[in-house]
A and B are shown apart, each in its own frame.
Chain A
Amino acid sequence: MSDQTNSGASGGAELPGAVLDAAAAPPPVPTADLDVLVGLASRAGVTLSRDRAAALAAPLAAAVDGVRRATPARRDQIAPALVFRAPREV
């Protein structure tokens, strides 16, 4: 029987670090197809013309790409700040 407790422990015991690393470095977010944006907006209940979709496609892609590039692969133990609280002590 193999010892599985330390497998993939390159970044901390028990964490699936190697697994995450292997899937890291997501490709840049492409500027979305305008029809996709129009369709997404429609599904959300907002009317978005192709002209308006064209105007916001690039900044939208830049914002999302910036976040995806900066997000570490090993984020399984990072609780998102869903309910944000400043700590009482640092």
Chain B
Amino acid sequence: MAVANELVYLTLREAADGLRRRAFSAVELTEAVLARTEAVEPRVHAYITLTADQARAAAAAADGEIGAGRYRGPLHGIPIGLKDNFYTAGVRTTAGAKVLADFVPTQDATVVTRLRAAGAVITGKLNLHELAIGSTTTNPHYGATHNPWNLDHIPGGSSGGSGAALAAGLCFAATGTDTRGSIRNPAALCGVVGFKPTYGRVSIFGVVPLSWTMDHTGPLARTVEDVALVMNAIAGYDPQDATTVDVPVPDFTSGLGQPIRGLRLAVVRNWFFDALDPEVRAALETAIGVFRGLGATVEDVELSSLTPTHEVFEVITRPEAAAWQHELLAARPDDYGADVRMGLEMGELILAIDYIRALQLRRIMADEQYALLRRYDGLLAPTRAAPAAPIGVAATVVDSREIAIGRQGLTAPFNLSGIPAISVPCGFSTAGLPIGMQVAGRPWDEVTVLRIAHAYEQATDWHTRRPPL
């Protein structure tokens, strides 16, 4: 058996290859992850609920099946964490909220069902910003998750437990939800990969909602190939989810390794680049040079409709969130964190006429992105305006402007349009904090987005670095 700490930082693909050739067992892999969790979880606090015994049982079952020649595929026997807003039958699902502290679903979310069918070993339920409404994962009810790269800093959010768990070596992939960037933001701040597929590609059935028209589900992992492998297990039409679309599901790994020479990439220079930390800006410019070096044609463009992005997002999502939280908010207002309560109260007060106007603006913004993607194969943009902020800070100065932490994410435009977008590591600040870059692409063409991101990843070594835990 390999040394435990060597096992926990294998990529998912490497771990899968090891299991298939019986270099180690699923039980050994799971025990290594659980030992690592026991060692670092008191400092990182990635989990709300650890399901160690269930993980051990699932790993033993996987070993039995693999030993009997019934290998299910690359996720078989692989420890994977779930954001705690995915329903798990018999295991409480809090969504990071006090008002859901006692919620024990009777069935799994579709994504969880598909992961179990693929043979994944579920390690537990990962911390998040309360109700996924926020980007710090400084959770007032279940504690703050700490960034493994600097424990005094946030991991981002709302899937902060997912990002931190991967950076800390506590699992090989994790699920996330992404309404305003909640997969991509923590991926960027924790130095891992986060992938938001096309809206409608992966089911949101059995996920505690934030905003039905904007919610996406998807994977986080340590490499582009690994998120593609998870996508192969979870993507596809779900008759229980009216937002999913019955379109052909590709092999999401099929474009990996293909050259990107000749592809046309656009750098969206307005809005995304308006206020950036100088080190983020420099990292992006260097990354753009890497794409040119790989033979892609890279051009600067602008999207004129982006200006009201934050306002449109808020006027759509706050009433949608309030619509389903309404009774709980009315009955138990003091059981919400201050920021989430205020957001829900705002949602109660937004008029239908403004909600409709925001949806019209969403149409305009989405159409402009689709038009751009007729001319380009992919879009490049920073994921966040600055590296991870210290825990407890409401805003930081970025490029001489004070910007709230919640508005440092540069991810919402791709939620409004529903196009696939990935965040990959593209550098580190001088303080040793990760920086992320987004690659976005045409709806339903995740294969090209993953191909572009993978080409960049393979030309750099940012994804190979590990935090000093």
A residues in contact (CB < 8 Å) with B: 32, 37, 40-41, 44-48, 52, 55-56, 59-60, 62-72, 75, 78-88, 90
Evaluate contact between A67 and B345: CB separation under 8 angstroms.
no
Q: Which of A40, A70, A75, A86 has the most CB of B within 10 A?
A: A86
Evaluate contact between A90 and B308: CB separation under 8 angstroms.
no
Return the CB mask of B199-242 against A: 1 if under 8 Å, else 0.
11000000000000110000000000000000000000000000
A46 to B373, CA, bound (A): 44
For chain B, the count of residues having a C-beta within 8 Å of the partner chain is: 48
A90 and B443 in contact, given A70-B361, A79-B363, A80-B359 (Cβ under 8 angstroms): yes
Contacts of B312 in A (CB 8 A): 66-67, 70
Contacts of A67 in B (CB 8 A): 308, 311-312, 315, 354, 357-358, 361
Contacts of B366 in A (CB 8 A): 81
Give the secondary structure class of B's interface. helix
Within 8 A of A (CB), among B395-441: 417-419
Return the CB mask of B298-309 against A: 1 if under 8 Å, else 0.
000000000110
Q: A67-B361, A80-B359, A80-B363 are in contact. List 4 more A-B contacts (CB 8 A).
A: A63-B346, A67-B315, A84-B243, A90-B442
Smallest beta-carbon distance B133→chain A, Å: 14
Smallest beta-carbon distance A60→chain B, Å: 5
A67 to B323, CA, bound (A): 20
Evaluate contact between B314 and A63: CB separation under 8 angstroms.
yes
A85 to B318, CA, bound (A): 20
Pick from A45, A79, A83, A84: contact of B326, CB below 8 A: A45
Q: Which residue of A lies closest to B315 (CB)?
A: A67
A-B interface contact total, Cβ < 8 Å = 125
Within 8 A of A (CB), among B439-454: 442-444
A84 and B213 in contact, given A37-B349, A68-B357, A78-B364 (Cβ under 8 angstroms): yes
Evaluate contact between B311 and A66: CB separation under 8 angstroms.
yes
Contacts of B198 in A (CB 8 A): 86
Evaluate contact between B363 and A68: CB separation under 8 angstroms.
no
Return the CB mask of B357-384 against A: 1 if under 8 Å, else 0.
1111111101000110110000000000
Smallest beta-carbon distance A51→chain B, Å: 12
Evaluate contact between A90 and B348: CB separation under 8 angstroms.
no
Evaluate contact between B348 and A46: CB separation under 8 angstroms.
yes
Evaluate contact between B419 and A86: CB separation under 8 angstroms.
yes
Evaluate contact between A86 and B200: CB separation under 8 angstroms.
yes
B151 lies within 8 A of chain A by Cβ? no
Evaluate contact between A47 and B330: CB separation under 8 angstroms.
yes
A86 and B346 in contact, given A64-B354, A80-B360, A80-B363 (Cβ under 8 angstroms): no
Evaluate contact between A60 and B349: CB separation under 8 angstroms.
yes
Evaluate contact between A52 and B315: CB separation under 8 angstroms.
no
A85 and B200 in contact, given A46-B345, A46-B348, A66-B310 (Cβ under 8 angstroms): yes
B333 lies within 8 A of chain A by Cβ? yes
A80 and B345 in contact, given A86-B199, A90-B370 (Cβ under 8 angstroms): no
Evaluate contact between A90 and B360: CB separation under 8 angstroms.
no
Contacts of B213 in A (CB 8 A): 81-84
Evaluate contact between A69 and B308: CB separation under 8 angstroms.
yes
Q: Which residue of B lies closest to A72 (CB)?
A: B364
Evaluate contact between A59 and B443: CB separation under 8 angstroms.
no
Chain A to chain B contacts (Cβ below 8 Å), 26 pairs? A40-B349, A41-B349, A47-B333, A48-B348, A52-B342, A56-B342, A56-B349, A63-B350, A64-B311, A66-B315, A69-B308, A70-B308, A70-B312, A71-B361, A75-B360, A79-B360, A80-B356, A80-B362, A81-B363, A81-B366, A86-B417, A86-B418, A87-B370, A88-B247, A90-B370, A90-B374
